[in-house]
Amino acid sequence: MAPPSTAPKPGRTLLALFAILVVLSGVAVWQGQTTPKLGLDLAGGTTVTLTAKTSSGKNPPAQQMDQAVKIMTQRVNGLGVSDAEVAKQGSNNIVVNVPGEGQGRVVSLIGTTAKLQFRQVFAVADGKPSTGTPPAPGAIPSASPSGDAKPGDGKSPSPEATPSTSAKPSGSASATPRGKALSGALTEPTPSGSASPSGAPSPTSPLVPPSGQPLPGQDPRAPPQDYAGVTDKAVIQQFEALNCYTGDRRAPGSNDPNRKFVAACDQDEEGGQIAKYILGPVRVLGENVDGANAMPPNAQQGQASWSVSLDFDGKGARQFGEVTTDAYGAYQQDPNSPRAQVAIVLDGQVVSAPSIREGAITGGTASIDGPPDSFDQRYATDLANVLKYGALPLEFTQSSIDEVSSTLGSDQLTGGLIAGAIGLGLVVLYCMFYYRGLGLVAVSSLIVASGITYLAVVILGEGMGFRLSLPHIIGLIVSIGITADSFIVYFERLRDELRAGRRLRPSVETAWKRARRTILVADAVTFLAALVLYFLAVGGVAGFAFAMGLTTLIDVVVVFFFTKPLVALLSRTKFYGRGHPLSGLDPRKLHRAAQKTSAATAGTSQEV
């Protein structure tokens, strides 16, 4: 009689598991990483000391330092399970340990202040000084704050800041070489202005002519730029003398939210050109950003680069709607007005300055994008990560940066691997001695589980920054016992069926139905414990919990997709099916053992 259609097909299950192994191997090769990444204690890394900088020169408040450590730790966790460490040292230092060499980018990301501001543009020009040679750094005038401006109050600038009908720079509506657009779902992308050579001004660029020359038809004694609405003369002087092609492009005072007007440089150059700006009062602060996510290019919306999507809270959405309303009003009065732009300023540098051409944006969502060569996936991901967790309450400078060796970790790793090998050897010996031929199934299952674990560690290392450290290895070694427990539960259920006098092939399915619930409950308890420990602990303990949770999931996969199907296939062979004495499934031997146990139990009862 043919078996029913619902009969299990162990061969197909094994093929599915090996197909998964092939796919995982292909992913590892495709990623270009075939060995696990090692943590700080095994491979060394980079140690950077960040020193807090205050305007008074005194030590910062302890509360602000603790908040900075918390935000940096969140940024580290946002990068994945990277085994990085952030700790406060003294009253004004924070030490960041990142595994692996050449981690300057990660350290820079962690220590970025990430003060985000939205300001309306009042003037824009090429980043070179507009009046001859720039003065010495000490001679650059700083912008003086105005008392009537409050950051993020959502109010429009003073009445005198209305567009002037006097001399205006000629050009297109794209007022900056990096006129990056807001989300295409909200407004049409702003085309980038072409960089013109230093000889004569481009007819499509509103940049100030070189050497401070006036615009055509303008009074030679008049300033070469239209500063209508800019009431701070010190900022105008700073703007004209500012040279964005030297230094770190952070103009003095450009990151101060209390200044009504500031001069700022563009963050990156495009086409060999860097723009500089005069920006109005802060209209929206980064603290009003609810979320930030890196988004891939969207050809349908005209975006050729990655972007960062921003979601504002209620207050931020209202303020952003007000500043875009003002910018759109300026655009309607004069499409060439720089006040039609809203600058997105990060740590004193302009990341983007899009023109508002499609009306006010009141949906509470915007995006930052840029040229594909600089605004790639890594840059967008890093920017979204630092914005997601808010700005640091203090500014930090790198006091020192050192490479750390892994000598101590290597010795501990050797000892750990020896201990793991001894434990694994004892498990194998016990399985072979007690289960005989059935022990080969357990050993094979351990080998498959080890292979899947290795591939998972490799893929996670490249995909989410997982680095194998000593706590992780301890968690993996402990999981050997967890995996062996699952096999023992199933094997003992199967042997119980044979002791009761049942045949092997039907006993395989009956025993599995009884054993799988026990296996799932035991693994669920272990996984929940690992999950709670991971979220409540930090550092090495969290790494141990992560490794234990990972191997618990792998144990379930191996038992369901390898151990049970393999036992089902072996039960059809003569060696196992007929109960060879060395198979571990000899019904006569198991039955005699059961009888001896029953007799011993009965004798003990009579004595009692």
Q: Which of 70, 104, 119, 58 is nearest to 255 (CA)?
A: 119
The residue assigned the tokens 């198991």 is: 590
Please tell me whether residues 515 and 480 are part of one structural domain: yes
Is-contact 380 308, C-beta < 8 A? yes
CATH assignment of the domain containing 522: 1.20.1640.10
Domain boundary among 391, 420, 454: 391
Residues 189 and 54 in one domain: no
Q: Is the pLDDT of residue 548 over 50?
A: yes
Do 507 and 531 share a domain, yes or no?
yes
Q: Is residue 199 domain-shared with residue 336, that is, in the same domain?
A: yes
pLDDT at 212: 38
103 and 118: one domain?
Answer: no
Instruction: Specify the higher pLDDT residue, 366 or 341.
Output: 341
Q: What is the pLDDT of residues 101-122, one digit of tens each?
A: 556 666 667 767 778 889 999 9
Question: Strand pairing of 45-53 and 395-404?
Answer: antiparallel
Statement to judge: residues 21 and 51 lie in one domain:
no
Residue 326, pLDDT score: 92
Using alpha carbons, list the distances in angstroms from residue 460 to 33, 73, 100, 429.
Answer: 10, 20, 16, 32
pLDDT at 358: 79
Confidence of residue 560 (pLDDT cuts 50, 70, 90): very high
Could you tell me if residue 400 is inside a domain? no
Contact (Cβ atoms closer than 8 angstroms) between residue 381 and residue 295: no
Closest to 120 in 3D by CA, of 175, 83, 46: 175
Q: For the CA atoms of the chain, what is the radius of gyration? A: 34
Could you please report the per-residue DSSP string of 185-201? TTSPPPPPPPPPPSSS-
* Nearest-angstrom CA–CA distance, 226 and 353: 18
CATH number assigned to the domain comprising residue 53: 3.30.70.3400
What is the tens place of the pLDDT at every residue in 389-438? 777 777 888 777 777 666 556 676 777 778 778 878 888 888 888 888 88
Q: Which of 145-154, 283-292, 454-463 has the least mean pLDDT?
A: 145-154
Residue 89's pLDDT band (boundaries 50, 70, 90)? confident
* Segment holding 92, helix H or strand E: none
More confident residue, 227 or 242: 242
Confidence class for position 476, pLDDT limits 50, 70, 90: confident
Tell me: pLDDT of 80 over 80. Answer: no
362 and 417 share one domain: no
605 inside domain: no
Nearest CA to 273 out of 361, 176, 407, 413 is that of 176
High-pLDDT (> 90) share of the chain, %: 10
pLDDT at residue 108 in the model: 66
Closest CA to 480 of 424, 529, 560, 426: 424
Position 6 in a domain: no
Per DSSP, which regions of 181-287 are E strands?
262-266, 275-285
Whether 4 is covered by a domain: the verdict is no
The overall longest dimension of the chain from CA atoms, in Å, is: 122
Q: 399 in a domain, yes or no?
A: no
Please tell me whether residues 558 and 430 are part of one structural domain. Answer: yes
**Residue 544: exposure state from Cβ atoms within 10 A (0-12, 13-18, ≥19):** buried
Residue 396, domain member (yes or no): no
CA gap 435, 269 in Å, rounded = 70
Task: Of 117-121, 211-215, 384-388, 405-409, give the lowest mean pLDDT range.
Answer: 211-215
- 129: domain CATH number is 3.30.1360.200
Point out the domain boundary residue: 366, 391, 416. 391
173 and 83 within one domain: no
Domain membership of residue 1 (yes or no) is no
Nearest to 307 by CA among 192, 177, 182: 182
pLDDT of 281 reads 93
Q: Which range, 153-162, 180-189, 491-500, has the best average confidence (pLDDT)?
A: 491-500
pLDDT of the residue at 82: 58
Which tokens go with 289? 């950003």
Q: How many domains does the chain have?
A: 3
| Between 435 and 174, the higher pLDDT residue | 435
How much is the mean pLDDT over the chain?
74
- Whether residue 511 contacts residue 487, with contact meaning beta carbons closer than 8 Å, is answered with no
520/564 Cα distance (integer angstroms): 14
pLDDT digits 0-9 by tens, 120-172: 999 998 888 875 444 333 333 444 444 445 455 544 443 333 333 232 332 22
505 and 461 in a common domain: yes
pLDDT at 280: 92
Residue 282 pLDDT level (bands cut at 50, 70, 90): very high
Residue range of the domain that includes 132: 114-158+168-217+225-391
Whether residues 445 and 520 fall in one domain: yes
Q: How confident is the model at residue 375 (pLDDT cuts 50, 70, 90)?
A: confident
Please indicate, yes or no, whether residues 525 and 419 belong to a single structural domain of this protein: yes
Domain membership of residue 301 (yes or no) is: yes
**Number of other CB atoms surrounding residue 572 within 10 Å:** 12
Q: What is the residue whose two structure tokens read 């009692």?
A: 608
Between CA 139 and CA 109 the distance in angstroms is 32
